[in-house]
A and B are shown apart, each in its own frame.
Chain A
Amino acid sequence: MTDVHTKALSLTGRDAYQALSARRWIVLLMLVVGVCIALVGDLSTGPASYSLGDVVRTLVLPAKADAQMRVIVWSIRMPSALMGVVVGMALAIGGAQMQTILNNPLASPFTLGISAGASFGAALALAFGVALIPVAGDYIVAANAFVVAMATAFLIHLASLRRGASIQMIVLLGIALVFSFNTALAITQYFAAEQAVAAIVFWTMGSLTKATWPKLAITAIVVGVTLPVFLRRRWQLTALRLGEARAASFGIPVRRLRLETLILVSLLSAIPVAFVGTIGFIGLVGPHIARMMVGEDQRFLLPASALTGALIMSSSSILTKILVPGAVLPIGIVTSAIGLPVFLYLILRSGRDIW
């Protein structure tokens, strides 16, 4: 009797888990569909508005489409629309992993000063032509943003290695870094020429309009390389969320895993910011929404974060084009406007859960 009872119970655990996994696959599938719809929507909006059906026809059968529409959809809108998707993915994956390695739900490239660092680096190039990597050439702004963003990420990592470094301390350090870079940025703007100031301001607001195929390719490669690496280490990375002590007790080399992940996260955060400017809150909000939908298991959390980030970016991109008729708002403003309330909600929802 006991055996039968135990067997029934043990089946429940396994079956329930498999049912849960099936539900999560469905969520992922729905997100994929959502991203596709948002992408087509993004391609159809702009100064000239097309119906979704026309856009889909142009995408599927470009040869048969109207020439002007083909150029607008494929050559003008496609790079920035795809850039939105890829940047959203990169920022959300970066945010998810930053929250994982620091075991802190408030961590993200934006809240820890990595984006602010990138802005400052870019401003140095825009204002004074200072190149932190001498051979950067046309990519001087992006290269500067990348270097400072990476340096910031390593600073945070070094601080987290200190004995007795708490999660609160890291968050406070991030806030201090945001303020420091913002001050440095203000000083740079003060001494910069008027034209350069305008360029800096526009850059810090983030925009997809300057997306090109090469920039898109680089960003896509970064996502394409890092995501499989993370997925390969999914069990170790998920275990980090049980706390350092428990992860270490599983035999996970916690420090090395953190450092290697941070290097990839820095790439994921710095590259998009370097190309499209500061885009806030995707890295924070994307993973949170994903976590609410599919939980903490990285097999689901990573793709879900990436897709949620892409969905928010594509939807925001549509909003930038329709909110003010005849103008394209910088996308960073829209993502911040969406993200900030969510961020506040996360803080206020439960004081204990947040840390």
Chain B
Amino acid sequence: MLSTHHLGASFGSRQVLRDVTLPPCHGGEVVAVIGPNAAGKSTLFRRLAAILPGPGECRLEGVRDPDRAVAYMPQDQTASAVLTVFESVLLARKQVSGWRLEKSDLMAVDQALAALDMSDLANEILSELSGGQRQLVGLAQCLVREPQVLLLDEPTSALDMHRQLEAMRQVRRLAHDDGMLVLIALHHLDLALKFADKVAILYDGTLHDFGTAAGVLTPENLAATFRIRARVESCSQGKPHLIVDDAI
């Protein structure tokens, strides 16, 4: 279980995250973190990953090894390193397993690549990949560490529609089948609606609302935070969809 208490962060004199307390999040859930640009999504993730210092407290309970329980995928996936995809995923794996290279490490890398349907990219050089492919590598680098909490900062922003849905389906499978807690920052509200069990809206560094996707993605919330006129309606097949009418 992940519980947060009054998380904050500031860059210089500018406070970018204020007093954020998420309701307890449990393993097996996909929690989407949404919000307009500069709402503090990335900052929240960096606070949760304990990379950024700041006021407040973030506690993990019921995990095997707190140091290895969390895998965080930052938004920036650029790299000029002369590493193959296989090597860079292996690199992520070796941060949490012993310094000696074991066969189990190589198998874990193969499995992570296969899980994201990217085994054919294994021998490509990292710096020669497209933005979307790099995001998949970033995801694989998280999966290969077999974490219990997955923090993904906009992992699908550069992926095509098919890859987005595939990646999200995989993320949801990890949560629902393997009991992982997944926090995922998303720009596409449709994906949040389709895949998230809970949604947190951040706005101006504070938590605006938290709850089920249907309960949070209300016309009022969307108008107040995203400045759009939008509504969730069921389609002819009875599935909920977000319909955006206009910017406000």
Question: Which residues of A are interface residues toward B (Cβ below 8 A)?
Answer: 6, 9-14, 16-18, 20, 103, 105, 163, 232, 234-236, 238-239, 241-243, 245-246, 248-252, 291, 295-297, 353, 355
A residues in contact with B95, CB < 8 Å: 235-236, 239, 250-252
Q: Is the CB of B77 within 8 A of A17?
A: no
User: What separation, in Å, do the CA atoms of A248 and B84 have in the docked complex?
Assistant: 20
Q: Can you list 6 A-B pairs, Cβ within 8 angstroms, ordered by A?
A: A9-B119, A18-B106, A235-B95, A238-B83, A250-B92, A297-B87
The interface bits of chain B over 60-87 (1 if a CB of A lies within 8 angstroms of the residue's CB, else 0) are 0000000110011110111111111011
Question: Which residues of B are interface residues toward A (Cβ below 8 A)?
Answer: 12, 49, 51, 67-68, 71-74, 76-84, 86-88, 90-92, 94-96, 99, 106-107, 109-111, 113-114, 119-120, 122-123, 126-127, 138, 141
B residues in contact with A297, CB < 8 Å: 83, 87, 91
B95 nearest CB neighbor, chain A only: A250
Q: Is the CB of B76 within 8 A of A17?
A: no
What 6 A-B pairs have minimum CB-CB distances, sorted nearest first?
Answer: A13-B122, A9-B119, A10-B110, A241-B81, A235-B94, A250-B95
Q: Is the CB of B99 within 8 A of A245?
A: no
Among candidates B12, B74, B107, B123, residue contacting A246 with C-beta atoms closer than 8 Å: B74
A residues in contact with B74, CB < 8 Å: 245-246, 248-249
A residues in contact with B138, CB < 8 Å: 246
User: What separation, in Å, do the CA atoms of A250 and B96 have in the docked complex?
Assistant: 8
Residue of A13, A235, A242, A245 contacting most chain B CB atoms (<10 Å): A13
Q: Is the CB of A249 within 8 A of B90?
A: no
B residues in contact with A353, CB < 8 Å: 80, 127
Among candidates B76, B91, B114, residue contacting A239 with C-beta atoms closer than 8 Å: B91
Q: How many contacts between A and B, using CB within 8 angstroms?
A: 107
B residues in contact with A252, CB < 8 Å: 95
User: What separation, in Å, do the CA atoms of A242 and B37 have in the docked complex?
Assistant: 25
- Min CB distance B184 to A, Å, is 15
A21 nearest CB neighbor, chain B only: B101
A105 nearest CB neighbor, chain B only: B80
Q: Is the CB of A296 within 8 A of B82?
A: yes
- Min CB distance B131 to A, Å, is 14
Among candidates B49, B72, B83, B122, residue contacting A241 with C-beta atoms closer than 8 Å: B83
Q: Looking at chain A's contact residues, is the secondary structure mostly helix, strand, loop, or mixed? A: helix
Q: Is the CB of B84 within 8 A of A17?
A: yes
Q: Is the CB of A249 within 8 A of B114?
A: no
B residues in contact with A245, CB < 8 Å: 74, 76
- Min CB distance A243 to B, Å, is 6
A residues in contact with B109, CB < 8 Å: 13-14, 17
Q: Is the CB of B123 within 8 A of A296?
A: no
A residues in contact with B119, CB < 8 Å: 6, 9-10, 12-13
B103 nearest CB neighbor, chain A only: A14
User: What separation, in Å, do the CA atoms of A355 and B79 have in the docked complex?
Assistant: 11
Q: Is the CB of A17 within 8 A of B86?
A: yes
Among candidates A6, A16, A296, residue contacting B81 with C-beta atoms closer than 8 Å: A296
B residues in contact with A9, CB < 8 Å: 114, 119-120
A292 nearest CB neighbor, chain B only: B82
B residues in contact with A11, CB < 8 Å: 110
User: What separation, in Å, do the CA atoms of A12 and B127 have in the docked complex?
Assistant: 21
Q: Is the CB of A295 within 8 A of B82?
A: yes
Q: Is the CB of A246 within 8 A of B77?
A: yes
Among candidates B71, B78, B92, residue contacting A243 with C-beta atoms closer than 8 Å: B78
Residue of B73, B91, B94, B111 contacting most chain A CB atoms (<10 Å): B91
- Min CB distance B89 to A, Å, is 9
- Min CB distance B105 to A, Å, is 10
Among candidates A16, A236, A238, residue contacting B86 with C-beta atoms closer than 8 Å: A16
Q: Is the CB of B82 within 8 A of A246?
A: no
Residue of B73, B74, B80 contacting most chain A CB atoms (<10 Å): B80
Q: Is the CB of B51 within 8 A of A249?
A: yes
